[in-house]
Amino acid sequence: MSPASLASAVLASAALVPASAFLTPGSAIAPPTAALRGGQQLQQQQQQSAEQSASSSTAPAPSAAAGLAALGVAAAAAASRRQSRRSAPLAGGSSARLVGLTAAEKRPSTAAQRGSLDAKIIVCAGARLPEGRKLRVAVVGGGPGGACCADSLAKQGIETFLIERKLDNCKPCGGAIPLCMLEEFDLPKEIVDREVKKMTMISPTNKEVQIGQTLKDHEYIGMVRREVLDDFLRKRASENGAQLINGLFLGMQLPQKKGESYVLTYNDYNSAEGASRNGEKKTLEVDVVIGADGANSRVAKDIGAGDYAYAIAFQERMRIPDDKMEYYKDRAEMYVGEDVSPDFYAWVFPKCDHVAVGTGTVIDKKGIQKYQQGIRDRAAPRIAGGEVLRVEAHPIPEHPRPWRVKDRAALIGDAAGYVTKCSGEGIYFAAKSGRMCAERIVTNSEKGTRMIDEYDLKEYIREWDAKYGATYLVLDLLQKVFYTTDAQRESFVELCEEEYVQTVTFDSYLYKTVQGNNPIGDLKLGWKTLTSLWKNSNKKPDEMRTLV
């Protein structure tokens, strides 16, 4: 679920944390040493840093936010100087073995060799591959992360297989993408259903705050349907050389010794004559596996990547009367309150000819229907007479998995846990992680001519954590500050009225770049945050307002 992502930057600003230090690709933290394994150690290291900062900080903000502010300053100030990539081949020397291939497969650069799905491959890690044989990578999952990963790999000549079981995917998702994503991922403007220039934040007492006054004329938040976006990305990957497999991934056999292949088993629905519902069971041998198969990742399970907490997102697609749809033509709404979610928010987002009405929660998954009814009741004056077109539900990860790389298998997107707290933004980060992982594979395999190993894939993890690790830690802690009680939620909406908050919010979200904060503005906002929290926590709640 990817909303307008306003909450993330707003909260970072409100807690006196320079939002651009956490919400942008430009922010950096010192990369972990080679001894660190997976995201769990990094998260613990960052947590300790935050606690130490909190104990010594004198900034006028809540204790959690103060620690985060100190962490943000350290993170932004520490210019990460990455070690140069080793130029020598990895263990295994220059020798390589290719066994069990047919005569056609042994001939370099032939169609038979390029299209073979069942070749037996055993090659020493780090070695140069035989002439005519390219590195083989299977990407499991065809969402934004998997499709962008497969596209980047295939364009560089790596033999790429993209396995997706739902080619008409309609994942329950707010569908908001930042403006920069259109250019960065070369997306056609036609896939954008609505250009949202107005965002209404609605408090537990229905106080409405209009966000977006600082947007320039050409700026907007893109609202897309996942079935449209994902289909475009998958087709582009296929056109660039990825072999798209319409199939259900069932599991895989891990290498039994160094350098052996992964053997994937899947149900192929395209080749099942007269039995498309059950599919035809097939196997595929590859050198590398990328898990892009969502929160319930089977790849993560097979490699023992560990579990994580997850939220349940529930959404209804509704066609509403034309006069009401006119109101939402360039507007999105976010509702907060105990009635719509105990730890998240609810939304009404516009699509091409309907709206998406939904909510999510981590701590009360069994109550999701109750919270969905809550958002229907709160938004009733604006969606009355709506016809439900589709009901969708899906798990959303709440933090990165303990391990995201094992041997020659790596996780990206939701499978890795790359959804931000507070906002639930995941589309951009899924696509970005897929591309970053692919670029590392391309570079370290010398465009598919060498075998890679776990160290090569861990470089992608280190780069990701250096760029975005602090973002997830900060937003996790800030969500606890503002999403815990209705009094705190009232303060959150009040802070959204600040022009400074809106400026930092949209600059950080739309472009994912460092915009630079005003220290004086941060101090003023920090003081306003404290006074607002104290006021709303020590007064009788306002009367419930009626939405117009």
What does the pLDDT look like over 177-224, one tens digit per residue? Answer: 999 999 999 999 999 999 999 999 999 999 999 988 888 989 999 999
Q: How high is the pLDDT of residue 448?
A: 95
pLDDT at 483 over 70: yes
State pLDDT tens for residues 60-99: 333 333 333 333 333 333 333 333 333 333 333 333 333 3
The more confidently predicted of residues 233 and 75 is: 233
Query: Taking Cα atoms as reference points, which of 189, 519, 172 lies closest to residue 356?
Result: 172
> What single string gives the DSSP state of each residue in 310-342?
EEEEEEEEEE--HHHHHHTTTEEEEE-STTT-S
Q: What is the pLDDT of residue 276?
A: 56
Per the CB < 8 A criterion, the answer to whether 141 and 283 are in contact is: no
pLDDT tens digits for range 444-463: 999 999 999 999 999 999 99
Averaged pLDDT score across all residues of the chain: 79
pTM (2 d.p.): 0.77
Higher-pLDDT residue of 240, 60: 240
Q: By the 8 A CB rule, do 316 and 391 touch?
A: yes
Bridge partners, 284 (sequence order) = 264
User: Are the C-beta atoms of residues 336 and 372 closer than 8 Å to each other?
Assistant: no
pLDDT at 469 over 70: yes
- pLDDT 10s digits, 111-141: 334 444 445 555 566 788 998 899 999 999 9
Instruction: Report the share of the chain in percent with pLDDT over 70.
Output: 74
Q: What is the pLDDT of residue 3?
A: 37
Q: What is the pLDDT of residue 273?
A: 55
pLDDT at residue 400, as a whole number: 87
Q: How far apart are CA 165 and CA 171, in angstroms?
A: 13
The arrangement of secondary structure in 123-175+225-307+401-482, i.e. its CATH architecture, is 3-Layer(bba) Sandwich (3.50)
Q: What pLDDT band is residue 482 in, cutting at 50, 70 and 90?
A: confident
Instruction: Summarize the confidence of residues 474-487 as an average pLDDT.
Output: 82
Structure tokens at 149: 């990963």
More confident residue, 522 or 352: 352
Most confident of 50-54, 334-338, 466-470: 334-338
Amino acid at 10: V
Identify the pLDDT of residue 338. 96
Q: What pLDDT does 516 receive?
A: 58
What is d(CA 114, CA 109) in angstroms, rounded to the nearest whole number?
A: 7
Instruction: Give CA–CA dist 471/75, Å, rounded.
Output: 10
Tell me the pLDDT band of 271, cut-offs 50, 70 and 90: low
Taking 60 as the threshold, does the pLDDT of residue 517 lie above it?
Answer: yes
Instruction: Say if residues 200 and 209 touch (Cβ distance below 8 Å).
Output: yes
Residue 350 has a pLDDT of 93
Distance, CA of 391 to chain centre: 22
Alpha helices in 240-304 (DSSP H): 298-303
How many residues in total does the chain contain?
548
Question: To which residue do tokens 């915009």 refer?
Answer: 515
| Residues forming a β-bridge with 357 | 316, 348
Q: Say what the pLDDT of residue 161 is.
A: 98
